[in-house]
Amino acid sequence: MIPATLSGDPRVVLTLDAGGTSFRFSAWRGGQPATPTVSMPARGDDLAACLADIVHGFLRIHEQCPAPPVAISFAFPGPADYPGGIIGDLVNLPAFRGGVALGPMLADRFGIPVFINNDGDLFAYGEALAGLLPEVNGFLAAAGNTRRYRNLLGVTLGTGFGGGVVTGGELLAGDNSRAAEIWLLRNKLEPRTHVEDTVSIRGLRRGYARAAGIPLELAPDPKGLAAIARGRRKGDRAAAREAFRRFGEAAGDAIAQVLAVVDGLVVIGGGIAAAAPLFLPPLLRELNGNYEGPDGATHRRLGAVALNLDAARDRREFLQGQRRRVLVPGTGRRVAYDPATRIGVGLTRLGTSQAIALGACAFALRQLDLP
């Protein structure tokens, strides 16, 4: 579902998905990978070695490109001045301190423009261009429904709780390169902390350790916890399910806060997304929950109903809506009206890494074409 403007573009862009433990380099052309991926460990505790590895990784991909690349575009952790290409003080890559001009360094070395963004932003951008957003609009068109969606919130669940917002085809970057920093929202379950302390790998492991009454260092990784929760591995099944329930509730609360402003689809990616059946039900319950007023009366948390696009029943309800025709006062004419406001929540359609790379490629080409 690559848009024609991207699939027909012959230009090559070098990309990188930079994480706290590994760097994955590739080149993209026409919305598709143009080279194999090259993976390297992230030596984030040694700045000189890390920068040398980044240059070396791009050189290895450059040698395999089917045509000379026109830009480098990639995801890198923040905080950062992304438009300026300057990386700030990173937690997972501690060698980056005091401001490292990574973008200008690479532009000097390769002689082409360099664009850097947050991985959550590029994930959302990729899914908005060629993933969940166009898929949903295509399904609506096929169902004869005239409603179309233009806004998308992308969230990544893994080492951290990342986010990105695309509205009307434009990536929301913010004036300080800090838009959609959803990990900083208040944690509903532990209000003195931010939500990432629950919605993350460490949060899942901590939740299991507390519920099981064991030291944190003995708690398995998310894949292991999911196996325990499903009864496929020995462990405290009730504690594992409780950890995922808390994870989903906290994530749902944060997503609801953002949806009150963004009002669009939600796409979920990241390594923990594979455990969606364990955390998605409490997440959706939170989105569809209620507030209680001082008089005891309740009203919906969100005006729109949140539906699981990966569940057949919810998807049918989402596509159908409540279409009717209402009379235009003073005339005999009727117009279409759908009073059922709804938000669709779905898992990544492209895969997290693919969405980030595609978003990076598309972002660079868009920037190069600006007047």
CATH class of 132-349: alpha beta
Q: Where are the domains of the chain?
A: 4-118+355-369, 132-349
Most confident of 5-19, 84-98, 206-220: 206-220
DSSP label at residue 195 = G
277: its two tokens: 């059946």
**In whole angstroms, what is the distance from residue 44 CA to residue 26 CA?**
20
**In whole angstroms, what is the distance from residue 164 CA to residue 220 CA?**
29
- Between 276-287 and 237-262, two packed helices, what is the crossing angle to 10 degrees? 50
**Mind listing the pLDDT tens digit for each residue in 218-249?**
999 999 999 999 999 999 999 999 999 999 99
Query: Tell me, what's the pLDDT at 352?
Result: 94
- Asked whether the predicted pLDDT for residue 283 surpasses 90, the reply is yes
β-strand 86-87 against 80-81: which pairing, if any?
A: antiparallel
**Mind listing the pLDDT tens digit for each residue in 124-164?**
999 999 999 999 999 999 998 889 999 999 999 998 999 99
- Asked whether the predicted pLDDT for residue 120 surpasses 90, the reply is yes
Query: Across all residues in the chain, what is the average pLDDT?
Result: 93
Dihedral pair phi/psi, residue 265, rounded to 5°: -70, 160
Half-sphere exposure of 168 (CA within 13 A, CB side): 1
161 Cα distance to chain centroid: 9
Confidence grade of residue 22 (pLDDT, cut at 50, 70, 90): confident
**Mind listing the pLDDT tens digit for each residue in 168-192?**
999 998 898 888 999 999 999 999 9
Same fold, 4-118+355-369 and 132-349: yes
| CATH tag for 4-118+355-369 (out of 3.30.43.10, 3.30.420.40, 3.30.465.10, 1.10.10.10) | 3.30.420.40
